[in-house]
Amino acid sequence: MLKTIACGELRSNHVGKTVTLAGWVHKRRDHGGLIFIDLRDSRGLVQVVFNPERSPQAHQVAENFRSEWVVLVEGEVALRPAGTLNPHMPTGDVEVYASRAEVLNPSKTPPFDISEDGQVDELLRMQYRYLDLRTARMHDNLVLRHRVVKYIRDFLDARGFIEIETPILIKSTPEGARDYLVPSRIYPGSFYALPQSPQQLKQLLMVAGYEKYFQIARCFRDEDLRGDRQPEHTQLDLEMSFVNEEDVLGLIEELFTDIVEKVASNRKLVKPFARLRYDDVMARYGTDKPDLRFGLELADLTEVAKATESHVLRQAVDGGGIVKGFAAPGCGGYSRRQVDELTAFAQTRGARGLITISLEGEGTSLDSLGMDQVRSTLARFLTLEQVKQIAQRTKAKPGDLILIVAGPAKVANTALSQLRNEIGQRLKLTDPTQMVFAFVTDFPLFAWNEETKAWEPEHHLFTAPAEEHWPLLETDPGSMRARHYDLVCNGMELASGSIRNHNREKQERIMRFLGYTSEQIEDRFGQLLGALEYGAPPHGGIAPGIDRFLYLLSDHADSIRDVIAFPKTQNAVDPLFHTPAPVTPEHLRELHIRIEE
């Protein structure tokens, strides 16, 4: 190598040694006669001193050094003079006295400062990703990613799993998103689909007798992007044969606990992970991915609402809706403007409006509450007794603000769950150093889609229902429960998985119920159904999202993009390669594709 040691590796035991270093000029300070630079390589920084008396050649070369130039320096490692030690730098006890220097490659002035952790526009960072990745924070994120993935591989290897790659050019595997398609040049009009996940492939591997499979797998989903989504993401895809739910969950709990405690060690963990039923989390948090770092649980107020004189409340209930709410502790003094802000927040999340009740008299007891301490647009329609009932159910005390949404269950739950997160953040209840995991179980097998007026799988169509629920398929499909489980953490869904249908006939029943014709079933799933007829073992699996998990683990990630080396923007664009991009007419012709405006 051009260098004898990495910059970041130098310590006091190297004092007296002559070393050759190579790296980037991180910072340069000219102190009259002496020039100091922080020299950076992938292992860290070290201070180099250029003294014209010691080496006129090195000093002269260093005079030209600018930020991000690539340079080579030879010199002697010395202890820093007393009083100049830097305890914040791993190499802070030493410095290198340069005896020779050479410029390996100069650099244009970077569009942002790599040595400072300042706020830089993300688009600019992505346009110059190769510079952004030089920053300490991005470097740390990628190193963390490497460590976590390596830990996963070693952990699973030690438990008898084997990693098997599956193809990227494949056929549609539905996970609820659109497919990315790749046209075939050889077969005009035919397309490959990029896998939304290796779901069918891992099930085929179970049929093939690989009882413990995993893969660090890339998944491609053409869907409307949200903050925590990317067109392609990485999963730990995993499948096991001869297992029940607890086998999968137990393994995942151990793995995630280990990673947080042994690899990251900057996070507090609540052990053991909670196991929560879907109905219960929906009731208490209005979402199947609750942030469990704080309480603020929702309470059902439908019964109280029915008895009030409020038109708004009664109308919602009469229309088949529900009334739910929760208390924001200490927010009873919110101004009109603050309340309006929360109302607008709820409305943009689909609620028709937000009903608020502020209870004045912080520090006093609920028993002594009088109607003169109640501020609410609904005050005229509520008796003191009803206000107290609402307060009791939401666990509100004087000094709190009760937030209530009335409407169809889905609307009320969606708005309230997001309001709950918003209040949790405002009240600083979302400690980022804490990770509170939970498994959510007993999901419904199907969800009703209002737009298409059809049932769709809540997870995916390979998920098995609870065995005793099969008879409900004809009579009451909405109440069928699935052998589906999710892992959630801090308000994010980190993994989904299930025990699968390993019997062809049962799997086909689900497909037919979902409206697939025999031809569609054969065309799309023939390969899997065929395999299920050749001794398919009972099997199940899960697929934790690596990007999301790393985002939660990292101290330096503002979004999942910060834990991915080359992510896409929220508009699914890569600003470095400028993709997606048009291709030449020849290329299209070769693929038998014509673009219609």
Which is nearest to 420 in space by CA: 496, 494, 351, 484?
351
Check binding of 543 to ligand ASP (CB under 6 A).
yes
Instruction: Tell the smallest beta-carbon distance from residue 538 to ligand ASP (Å).
Output: 15
Under rule CB under 6 A, how many of the chain's residues touch ligand ASP?
9
Phi, psi of 395 (to 5 degrees): 60, 35
Site string for ligand ASP, 12-51 (x = CB under 6 A): ----------------------------------------
Buried b (16+ CB within 10 A) or exposed e, 107-126: eeeeebebbeeeebebeebb
Judged by beta carbon, residue 63 or residue 223, the one nearer ligand ASP is 223
Q: How far is CA 537 from the centre of its chain?
A: 32
Instruction: Tell the smallest beta-carbon distance from residue 221 to ligand ASP (Å).
Output: 9
Which is nearest to 276 in space by CA: 487, 446, 424?
487
Check binding of 166 to ligand ASP (CB under 6 A).
no
322-328 sheet: strands from edge to edge: 299-300, 322-328, 401-407, 355-359, 374-376
Alpha carbons within 13 A on the beta-carbon side of 94:
25
Which is nearest to 249 in space by CA: 519, 495, 523, 430?
495
Judged by beta carbon, residue 316 or residue 494, the one nearer ligand ASP is 494
Judged by beta carbon, residue 358 or residue 498, the one nearer ligand ASP is 498
**Cβ contact 562:257 at 8 Å:** no
Judged by beta carbon, residue 145 or residue 483, the one nearer ligand ASP is 483
Instruction: Tell the smallest beta-carbon distance from residue 175 to ligand ASP (Å).
Output: 5
Judged by beta carbon, residue 14 or residue 459, the one nearer ligand ASP is 459
Check binding of 141 to ligand ASP (CB under 6 A).
no
d(C-alpha 313, C-alpha 308), whole Å:
8
Which is nearest to 346 in space by CA: 406, 293, 390?
406
d(C-alpha 201, C-alpha 248), whole Å:
18
Check binding of 541 to ligand ASP (CB under 6 A).
yes
Element (H, E) at 99: strand 94-105
Judged by beta carbon, residue 40 or residue 500, the one nearer ligand ASP is 500
Q: Given the rule CB under 6 A, which of 33-41, 79-87, 138-146, 537-545 is the region that contacts ligand ASP?
A: 537-545
Check binding of 544 to ligand ASP (CB under 6 A).
no
- For β-strands 322-328 and 401-407, DSSP reports them as antiparallel
Choice from 38, 41, 68, 175 touching ligand ASP (CB under 6 A): 175
Judged by beta carbon, residue 62 or residue 542, the one nearer ligand ASP is 542
Return the residues of window 258-297 that contact ligand ASP according to CB under 6 A.
Answer: none
Check binding of 199 to ligand ASP (CB under 6 A).
yes
Site string for ligand ASP, 480-509 (x = CB under 6 A): ----------------xxx-----------
* Token pair for 473: 């398929």
The CA radius of gyration of the chain, in Å to the nearest whole number, is 30
Question: Residue 136: is it exposed, middle or buried by C-beta count within 10 angstroms (0-12/13-18/19+)?
Answer: middle
* Token pair for 583: 């291709």
Return the residues of window 59-118 that contact ligand ASP according to CB under 6 A.
Answer: none
Judged by beta carbon, residue 264 or residue 543, the one nearer ligand ASP is 543
Judged by beta carbon, residue 241 or residue 498, the one nearer ligand ASP is 498
Check binding of 215 to ligand ASP (CB under 6 A).
no
- Helix pair angle (136-158, 546-553), 10° resolution: 120
Judged by beta carbon, residue 95 or residue 237, the one nearer ligand ASP is 237
Judged by beta carbon, residue 331 or residue 461, the one nearer ligand ASP is 461
Instruction: Tell the smallest beta-carbon distance from residue 204 to ligand ASP (Å).
Output: 13
**Cβ contact 312:403 at 8 Å:** no
Choice from 55, 91, 197, 386 touching ligand ASP (CB under 6 A): 197
Instruction: Tell the smallest beta-carbon distance from residue 147 to ligand ASP (Å).
Output: 24
Interface residues toward ligand ASP, by CB under 6 A? 175, 197, 199, 496-498, 541-543
